[in-house]
Amino acid sequence: MLVILGAALYFRVPQQLGLLPSPQRLLSEAPNREAAAALKEELAEAGIDTRGMDIYVLPFRDKPGSIAYAVLDASNGFQFKPESRDPVVDYFKQMANSAAADTYGIQRIAIEYRSTTGTTLLNLTASRDTIAGYSNGTLSREQFLKGIDGQANWSAFFQEVLK
């Protein structure tokens, strides 16, 4: 009985039956491709190699604004800029401070990093306000990190270390 209950919860059966709200329902069915292209173009103009980088801008369904979701996929040729010592935070800042983020009402940014095998290692998200706070010095590094939500694939990290 417990196994069945666990499986039902794992496969999100209550959400699929509409008994519990699915987080995806907050988002519109169609992505804003124009906003994604503008954001990617701006990153390229800033000297960032956008190979292996996919950006999706997902508008909220019932309110203005959207989420920008960037996939940095090393299995598709993505590499961080060699001169950056804090690349994930730099990407957060670059996207949050972009003109496209203002133009298209992007309110939250998510970054997913995939390894050379295509495995997701890290998935982080922060509001633009949090990122802006850290950029302009009103938030400390500690406060900024606490304001980030996400998931780390620890078992995949250990496998990468053992390689």
In the complex, the residues that contact other proteins under the rule CB under 8 A are 6, 9-10, 12, 14-15, 20, 22-24, 26-35, 37, 54, 56, 58-60, 64, 67, 69, 71, 74, 79-80, 82, 86-89, 107-108, 110, 112-113, 115-116, 120-125, 127, 142, 145-146, 148-152, 154, 157, 160-161
CB of 77 to other proteins, least distance (A): 10
- Provide the minimum distance between the beta carbon of 111 and other proteins in the complex, in angstroms, as a whole number: 10
Is residue 128 packed enough to be buried (19+ CB in 10 Å), middle (13-18) or exposed (0-12)? buried
CB atoms within 10 A of CB 24: 11
Of the pair 46, 146, the CB lying nearest other proteins is at 146
How do strand 66-73 and strand 106-114 relate by DSSP bridges?
parallel
CB-nearer residue toward other proteins: 97 or 147? 147
Kindly state the smallest distance separating residue 38's Cβ from other proteins, in Å.
9
Query: For residues 147 and 125, what is the distance between their CA atoms, to the nearest angstrom?
Result: 9
CB burial string 95-126: b at 16+ within 10 A, e below:
bbbbebbeebbbbbbbbbbbbeeebebbbbbb
Q: How far apart are CA 79 and CA 70, in angstroms?
A: 14
Between residues 3 and 154, which has the closer beta carbon with respect to other proteins? 154
**Min separation Cβ 87 and other proteins, Å:** 5
Q: Which is nearer to other proteins, 20 or 46 (CB)?
A: 20
Q: How far is the CB of 138 from other proteins (least distance, A)?
A: 17
Contact indicator for 65, 32 with CB cutoff of 8 Å: no
Of 115, 123, 124, the C-alpha closest to 161 is 115
